Amino acid sequence: MQDLRTKVASGERISTDEARWLWQNASDAELCDLASTVRARFHVPDQATYMLMRIVNYTNVCVAQCDYCAFYRLPGQPDGYVLTQEQVFAKLDELVALGGDLAAFNGGFNPHLPLDYYCDLFAAVRARYGDAIEFYALTIAEFMYLADHAKIDYAAAAQRFKAAGVRWITGGGSEILTEEFRRRHSKFKYTVKQYFEAQAAILAAGLGSTATMVIGFDETLDERLEHLERTRAFQDEQLKSNAGLASFLCWTFKPYFTQIGGIEISTSEYLRHLALSRIYLDNFPRIRTSVLTQNERALEGLKYGADDFDLPIEDEVTQKAGAKISLEFEKILGVARELGFNVQTRRVALLS
């Protein structure tokens, strides 16, 4: 342990085997200490930021059929929906009225929606809100489906969205980035290789993107480590030619009403993973903790290496699987303050 302490304190990178050792042997306090050491390289120790945001689920129609998803409806099912621009605006107006300024569009692989639906929607949102709202347009998974559906390559798709006013596409849809995990649970949701090809095209086009991860399915420790290893290596490669991924966000799987079911992992396990991610992902200044899936306990993540979080007001995908969203923002922020953090909202200009 002392060797690793010295290594991390001197700014040296830890190996994947050392990350495995830490997971299996380090106490919570030791992980906290190491994560805080790495965090302090990028942030003032008692400072943290947040954004009030809404996930806009513009359609629940999807053909991907991931077995961990309680949100999707197949084409033709009676409760499938597609939001109109007016319905999207109503949701964004409500966000603004609550003081929020970040939206994230997330739907399904809907074969009935042409690329123009998306480009028109994003252009309309940019025209109506300007810089008052920033938005993550789509996840990478949806981006890949739309490009394929329109029969254009990822570079062309990125340019189409950029021309429509898009600045960001999240790394969502990653879950666990191993080919075996995707074969087990989401075989229609693209390979890991395709995922990173699409993300590279998005960054090369000058758009921003993020790294994401979801834990708590049936993934093994080796699969979690492989996900982190691929993410760190991708970031290393991207930083040679562009700004790289802006942040890393991990959240936990909600199993209720899903095909695979199961039980949720504990918050303690989530926090340990957050700390390990901060220590291992030494090329990510911003590590975010998930209030969406961990509620107030997510704020403890600020002691486990995180420096940032979202306060969501809606996300049908996780809510359908059991997530409970609270709009008592001051109460949530109070938890962070009680833990000794000075929390400030991070405006859209600071999204990166």
Q: Residues comprising the binding site for S-adenosyl-L-methionine?
A: 175, 249
Q: Does 136 bind ligand SF4 (CB under 6 A)?
A: no
Binder of ligand SF4 out of 16, 36, 37, 65 (CB under 6 A)? 65
Site string for ligand SF4, 91-110 (x = CB under 6 A): -----------------xx-
Q: Does 295 bind ligand SF4 (CB under 6 A)?
A: no
Q: Does 195 bind ligand SF4 (CB under 6 A)?
A: no
Beta pairing partners, 59: 82
CA angle 221, 4, 281 (to 5 degrees): 55
| Residue 113 structure tokens | 């929606």
User: Whose Cβ is closer to ligand SF4: residue 49's or residue 60's?
Assistant: 60
User: What is the rounded CA–CA span in Å between residue 214 and residue 92?
Assistant: 26
User: Whose Cβ is closer to ligand SF4: residue 91's or residue 297's?
Assistant: 91
Beta pairing partners, 41: none
3-state secondary structure (DSSP) of residue 52:
strand
Q: Does 61 bind ligand SF4 (CB under 6 A)?
A: no
Query: Least distance from C-beta 183 to ligand SF4, angstroms?
Result: 14
Q: Does 260 bind ligand SF4 (CB under 6 A)?
A: no
Annotated binding site: 62, 66, 69, 175, 249, 290
Query: Least distance from C-beta 131 to ligand SF4, angstroms?
Result: 29
User: Whose Cβ is closer to ligand SF4: residue 187's or residue 324's?
Assistant: 187
Residues 62, 68, 71, 73: is their CA dihedral positive or negative? positive
User: Whose Cβ is closer to ligand SF4: residue 108's or residue 244's?
Assistant: 108
Size of the site for ligand SF4 (CB under 6 A): 12
Q: Does 181 bind ligand SF4 (CB under 6 A)?
A: no
Backbone angles phi, psi at 132, to 5 degrees: -70, -25
User: Whose Cβ is closer to ligand SF4: residue 22's or residue 113's?
Assistant: 113
Are 277 and 228 spatial neighbours (Cβ–Cβ below 8 Å)? yes
Q: Does 138 bind ligand SF4 (CB under 6 A)?
A: no
User: What is the rounded CA–CA span in Å between residue 298 and residue 292?
Assistant: 8
Q: Does 217 bind ligand SF4 (CB under 6 A)?
A: no
Q: Does 191 bind ligand SF4 (CB under 6 A)?
A: no
Q: What is the 3-state secondary structure (H, E, C) of 149-217?
A: HCCCCHHHHHHHHHHCCCCEEECCCCCCCCHHHHHHHCCCCCCHHHHHHHHHHHHHCCCEECEEEEECC
Annotated binding site for [4Fe-4S] cluster: 62, 66, 69
3-state secondary structure (DSSP) of residue 336:
helix
Are 141 and 170 spatial neighbours (Cβ–Cβ below 8 Å)? no
Q: Does 253 bind ligand SF4 (CB under 6 A)?
A: no
Q: Binding residues for ligand SF4, per CB under 6 A? A: 62, 64-66, 69, 71-72, 108-109, 141, 186, 189
